[in-house]
Amino acid sequence: MSVSDGDGQSGKRGASICRIIVTEDDDAVRERFVRLIADWDGGELVAESATLSDTLAAIRESEIDLLITDLNLPDGNGIEAIKALGVIQPHAEAMVISVLADDRTVLDSIEAGASGYLLKDADPVDLVEAINDLMAGRSPISSRIARVLVKRLAERAERAAEDKDAPKMTPREMDILWGIAKGLTSDELAASLGISRQTIPVHIRNIYRKLQVSNRSEAVFEATRQGIIRL
């Protein structure tokens, strides 16, 4: 199946040719990639490299649209190249092609700025389709890798679900809570909500009771910890 939804050559780079760097220390694999790009009329290979330092040099010296990189490089980690690319040429995309699939590596790559991540395994990778995906603002990602992302996003939701037994604040109490988090005094709070300054302490006491705290700073801390206040 094609997990990618294809719409061909269309891309956010418009009609311009995609300038590419390929970094891969295995000569055979790299040559295969290079040939695929050469046979394709939508991209131009700006540089090919087998080491991190060569790649970093190429990123500094040439304008590119796409970095395709392995992670295990003889002189370092491809993630460094992705980070450098994000700093020097923020407009460019980055894609990982690696055998690594552990959570830490995958998440580090994505957080470093990789938009695509293909697993280098039995299946021969259709590089051109992946490049088209990237240039069209999509993210070609192997299903094993995607699982890591899904797991990560789902576990955040689980934590939020645990917070569901958090005390329920009334709308007014939420106003007050945000106010004290922002450091407003009772007077400022009253003014900003258009109510009497005498009413503020009542709400605050109710908040204290619900959060089982006894002053403003502890309330802010607890409310944040319980996810009632999201940053």
Partner DNA sequence: AGCTCAATACCAAGAACTGGGTATGGGCAA
Partner DNA sequence: TTGCCCATACCCAGTTCTTGGTATTGAGCT
Cα 138 to Cα 130: distance, rounded to the nearest angstrom: 9
Residues 77 and 79: their CA atoms lie apart, in Å, by 5
Give whichever of 24 and 173 is closer to DNA, judged by the CB atom.
Answer: 173
Q: Which of 11, 83, 186, 223 binds DNA (CB under 7 A)?
A: 186
CA–CA distance, 58 with 48 (Å, rounded to integer): 9
Report d(CA 65, CA 85) in Å as an integer: 10
Q: Give the nearest distance from C-beta 132 to a second copy in angstroms.
A: 9
| CB closer to DNA, 59 vs 169 | 169
Closest approach, Cβ 91 to DNA, in A, equals 36
Q: Which of 187, 191, 192, 225 binds DNA (CB under 7 A)?
A: 187
What lies within 8 Å, CB to CB, of 110 at 6+ separation is 117, 149
d(CA 200, CA 40): 68
Shortest distance, position 166 Cβ to DNA, whole Å: 14
**Shortest CB 211 distance to DNA, Å:** 11
Query: Residue 21 corresponds to which tokens in the numbers above?
Result: 């760097």
Q: Which residues bind DNA (CB under 7 A)?
A: 170-173, 184-187, 190, 193, 195-199, 201-206, 208, 214-216
